[in-house]
Chains A and B, each alone.
Chain A
Amino acid sequence: MTIRFLRNKVVEVEPLPDGSLAVSWRLTDDLLKAEVALRVRPPDLEIVEARAKLERLPLRAWSSAPELIKRVEGVRIGPGLRKIASGLLGGRAGCSLLVHAVLEASNAVILHFTRPGLQAGEKLEGEALIAATRAMLKTNPRLIRSCIAFQDGSPIMQGLDL
């Protein structure tokens, strides 16, 4: 059976020589071609630059996207971002696609910082891996009960008093 709709989405993080991070979020499907580019400055992860371009057949209501995205400049990636991005970019006069793009681009920035720690521990197996995961949880308590691996009944959580 032929596919009647296909969406391809890519988000990339690239560290720049000045220490900031370039984040490129791109979407292409049968009807829409969209690009959002953010530049994020550590250590407070402030979005210092934001650009958006919607092409192909976007809804007319979304035509203000290039101006709208500027509202996230100055916003920091951190707790409360979902609410902030929805408030600045969403709603009846907003563009839900931009909300999704900013949140997914921000998530990619977090995973950019997560990757080295995971790679450092990837040769661990069995109990050693579980012990390393427990140690990681102690320094990242926001992950507790965030997924099945960190729910109370998980073997990783046994013996942890968090």
Chain B
Amino acid sequence: MITFNRSQLIEAEFPDQETVRFSGVQEDHIYSMEIRMQVRIADGEILAIEGQMKRYTNPVCPAAVAVLQSAVGVSLREEGWDRRVMREIGRNGCEHFAEIMIECGRCLDQARLSKAVWEALQQDASLNQEQFIEAWAEEHPEIRSA
């Protein structure tokens, strides 16, 4: 039998040309958490964030929800952003919140690419998707570390 399972679900919406809105859920046998955050596409800056802790292991854990606000202003494009999130949100708050935020951050450029492929397919249903992705990756090298 399976003795441990963790599932993550990350969704991205583009409410306007400048912003991406993430919703991330992490469920496992021990913890259950959710993050919603708004990010400026141009520089990856976290503009707003909120979180919910649904299942946790001790009575102090919910105090980590307030710590999330220290992520506002952090850029998901700066060098070492993921280590910074783990340090400032994970260590000072909850590492499972940090794990969801990091997965959202990894999806930033993947979501942009997905949107670009979709829009290109609307223009040309016979688009060579592999070629389009390679060309996009050339123009946006940040995707390789996503």
> Is B95 within 8 A of A57, CB to CB?
no
Q: Which residue, of A3, A104, A133, has the highest number of chain B Cβ atoms within 10 A?
A: A3
Cα distance, A130 to B4, chains bound together (Å):
25
- Decide: B58 and A130 in contact? CB cutoff 8 A: yes
What A residues does B106 contact at CB under 8 A? Answer: 100
Specify which of B28, B61, B144 is in contact with A148 (CB 8 Å cutoff).
B61
With the chains together, A61 CA to B146 CA distance in Å? 13
Interface bits B1-24 vs A (CB < 8 Å: 1, else 0):
111111111111111000000000
User: A11–B6 contact, CB under 8 A?
Assistant: yes
| B146–A8 CB distance below 8 A | no
Closest to A7 in B: B10
Are B5 and A29 in contact, CB atoms less than 8 angstroms apart? no
Q: How far is the CA of A32 from the CA of B110 in the complex (A)?
A: 9
> Do A13 and B4 have beta carbons less than 8 Å apart?
yes
Query: Taking each of A12, A15, A100, A148, which has the highest tally of chain B beta carbons within 10 Å of its own beta carbon?
Result: A148
Kindly state the separation between the CA atoms of A18 and B67 in the bound complex, as whole angstroms: 44
Q: Which of A42-50, A68-76, A111-119 contacts B (4 or more CB under 8 A)?
A: A111-119
1/0 contact trace for A87-107 toward B, CB 8 Å? 000000000100010001000
Contact A114 B30, beta carbon cutoff 8 Å: yes
Does A1 reach chain B (CB closer than 8 Å)? yes
Q: A13-B2, A147-B95 are in contact. Are A29 and B9 (CB under 8 A)?
A: no
Could you tell me how many residues of chain B have their Cβ less than 8 Å away from some Cβ of chain A?
51
The answer to whether A147 touches B4, judged by C-beta atoms less than 8 angstroms apart, is no
Structural contact, A118 and B9, CB atoms closer than 8 A: no
A14 beta carbon closer than 8 Å to chain B? yes
Complexed CA–CA distance, A28 and B69 (Å): 30
Q: Does A30 contact B (CB under 8 A)?
A: yes
Q: Are B67 and A59 in contact (CB under 8 A)?
A: no
> Is the CB–CB distance between A29 and B91 below 8 Å?
no
A123 interface residue per 8 A CB criterion:
no
Q: How far is the CB of A41 from chain B (nearest CB, A)?
A: 16
Beyond contacts A15-B3, A151-B92: 14 other A-B pairs, Cβ-Cβ < 8 A, are A1-B13, A3-B12, A4-B118, A7-B9, A10-B5, A10-B8, A30-B110, A59-B137, A111-B29, A130-B58, A133-B58, A146-B90, A148-B63, A155-B60
B residues with a Cβ closer than 8 A to A are 1-15, 28-30, 57-61, 63-64, 67, 90-95, 103, 106-107, 110-111, 113-115, 117-118, 129-130, 133-134, 137, 143-146
| Chain A residues at the B interface, C-beta cutoff of 8 Å | 1-15, 29-32, 57, 59-61, 96, 100, 104, 108-109, 111-112, 114-115, 118, 129-130, 133, 145-149, 151, 154-156
